[in-house]
Amino acid sequence: MMWSDLLGHLDQRTWFDNAVRQTRLASTFLLVGPDGIGKRTFARLVAKSMLCLRQLPGKMIPCGICESCVQVDADTNPDLLEIAKSANASSLSIDKLVGTKENRMREGLCYELHVKPFAGVRRVAIIDDADTILDEAANSMLKTLEEPPSGSLIFLIGTNEQRQLSTIRSRSQIVRFKSLDVDQVATLLIRNGIVTDPAVANEIAAISVGSIGLASLLADEELRKFRRELHGMLSQRPMDFVGLSKIMLAQSQSVGEEGSARRVRLKLLFWFACDYYRSILISDRVHNQEAVINPNKISMSAAARAMDACLMAEADVDRNLTPAGLLESWAATQAEICQA
């Protein structure tokens, strides 16, 4: 992948271009913004540019053909270190950062970052799921963040700077990313072969909230159908909260027996519910209405409270609560808020 393949984030690229040209590039960056908008791809392109063996001084343009560039694209470059939380874990393991208890600071990303580069003059680390880093793990990497190896680059990727520990925020240059435009999401859906029909691509892009990650999931027609059904149930008065919790549970279990897959699906379903209330609030602003903002008589304040409850439930998924209990509590809360 080259910079010409990246859609959006022009301001962020210009900022890095200027920093490289002026030789004022920091060592640690915290990239924050919505999920699925290309923050990790952006970090990999910066890494590819800086690891390129034919890079011109002061330029952030990879050649794309040298051994280092080819290895980045193939995920085999030994100077590009990437970690993320394990599929079944709720947080990024300290072992991935500084090694197991028996081998603290003799393995793990922080150790590898201090190893002499295999080629060129630098190593680059990309730490995904920064939102999930706990205190112990964050403390274990403080020395590396404070005194990074010469020439090294560290990228932490999260969704919101407020979800990061203060020890990480204070030691990082924060770079904020925005959601993609609808046209950009539709273009990526077609370009990546996720869908082939431009009309379907536009339909999906319009409800993706600027996330190609979410848009890829919504390429499943059955999932889009469920989203519409869920929105219909949320608009019912009185709300059938028992039935609501049951269909949500069944849908979360439809992805198979694996717990991590079910958690991902459940978080997506809570996001669908959150999006229902978000659309009501947006509609209120667009039409400049006051207390009542849709045909089902959901007030603006109720929609805001219901959306907050959805966000809280989405966060609770990672606490490994019993899905059935979590859904029953959430559905009852939705009914109480919207029928008050």
CA distance 326 to 333: 11
Residue 231 pLDDT more than 50? yes
Q: pTM of the predicted model, to two decimals?
A: 0.88
Is 158 strand, coil or helix?
strand
CA distance 323 to 270: 12
pLDDT at 255: 93
Q: Which residue has the tokens 């301001």?
A: 11
DSSP code per residue over 23-61: T---SEEEEES-TTSSHHHHHHHHHHHHH-TTPPTT---
Q: Are 214 and 36 in contact (CB under 8 A)?
A: yes
pLDDT digits (tens, 9 = 90+) for 121-147: 899 999 999 999 999 999 999 999 999
Q: What is the mean pLDDT of the chain?
A: 91
Give the torsion sign (CA, 66, 72, 76, 77). positive
Contacts for 336 with CB less than 8 Å, ≥ 6 apart: none
Written as one letter, the residue type at 272 is F
Residue 178 to residues 8, 69, 217, Cα–Cα distance (Å) = 9, 27, 20
Residue 102 to residues 91, 98, 106, 133, 323, Cα–Cα distance (Å) = 21, 11, 9, 21, 35
CA distance 178 to 76: 29
pLDDT digits (tens, 9 = 90+) for 317-326: 878 789 999 9
pLDDT at 284: 53
Is 219 strand, coil or helix?
coil
pLDDT digits (tens, 9 = 90+) for 192-226: 999 999 999 999 999 999 999 999 999 999 999 99
pLDDT at 290: 40
Q: Among residues of the chain, what percentage have pLDDT more than 70? A: 96
Q: Which residue has the tokens 């072969």?
A: 193
CA distance 235 to 294: 10
Written as one letter, the residue type at 159 is T
Counting Cβ atoms within 10 Å, is residue 8 exposed (0-12), middle (13-18) or buried (19+)?
buried
CA distance 201 to 195: 6
**Better-scored residue on pLDDT, 120 or 32:** 32
From first CA to last CA, the distance across the chain in angstroms is: 52
